[in-house]
């Protein structure tokens, strides 16, 4: 497989493409060719080196996040700095895990968010879901 302008793809995309070759009984190769305008000594080159050095999808996704940024979690930007006000996702893994655990606990105890103590949370969730038309169904 030959992927031209590989520097324009995300690492996870390239990892998925690379995984499509070599499934049969014959040997195969995946060539990742950067564009001529690519900065092979910059982030583009580092991303491709990371991909070449690893077959671990989780490690590759972490490297992509570190090098390209998370993009817009509530919008359509695929890369770049986050608009979160509390740092980077990489730096806040523990906080994110705690928030997820708390969200699961609340959802199990009060799925409709009908309790008085969850009124503000319920209003925020409904407001967020109301923006689906702006960002697309997949953002909800």
Question: pTM higher than 0.85, yes or no?
Answer: no
Structurally, the chain folds into a number of domains equal to 2
> Rounded to an integer, what distance in angstroms lies between the CA atom of residue 25 and that of residue 29?
13
Q: Which uninterrupted H or E stretch holds 17? A: helix 11-18
Domain that holds residue 115: 85-131
Q: What is the pLDDT of residues 2-43, one digit of tens each?
A: 999 888 888 888 898 888 887 888 888 888 888 887 766 777
Q: What is the pLDDT of residues 42-98, one digit of tens each?
A: 777 888 888 889 888 888 888 887 777 776 555 555 555 555 555 666 667 788 889
Query: Is 136 inside a domain boundary?
Result: no
Mean pLDDT, the chain, whole residue set: 79
pLDDT at 135 exceeding the cut of 60:
no
Same domain for 56 and 100? no
Same domain for 63 and 1? yes
Q: What is the pLDDT of residues 41-58, one digit of tens each?
A: 777 788 888 888 988 888
Q: Is 12 exposed, middle or buried (0-12, 13-18, 19+ CB in 10 A)?
A: middle
């Amino acid at each position: 497989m030959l992927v031209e302008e590989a520097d324009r793809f995300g690492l996870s995309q390239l990892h998925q493409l690379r995984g499509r070759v070599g499934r049969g009984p014959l040997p195969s190769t995946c060539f990742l060719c950067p564009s001529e305008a690519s900065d092979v000594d910059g982030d583009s080159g580092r991303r491709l080196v990371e991909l070449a050095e690893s077959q671990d999808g989780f490690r590759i996704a972490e490297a992509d996040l570190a090098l390209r940024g998370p993009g817009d979690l509530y919008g359509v930007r695929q890369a770049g700095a986050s608009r979160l006000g509390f740092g980077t996702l990489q730096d806040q893994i523990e906080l994110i895990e705690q928030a997820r655990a708390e969200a699961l606990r609340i959802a199990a105890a009060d799925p409709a968010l009908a309790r008085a103590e969850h009124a503000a949370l319920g209003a925020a969730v409904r407001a967020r879901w109301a923006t689906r038309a702006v960002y697309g169904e997949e953002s909800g």
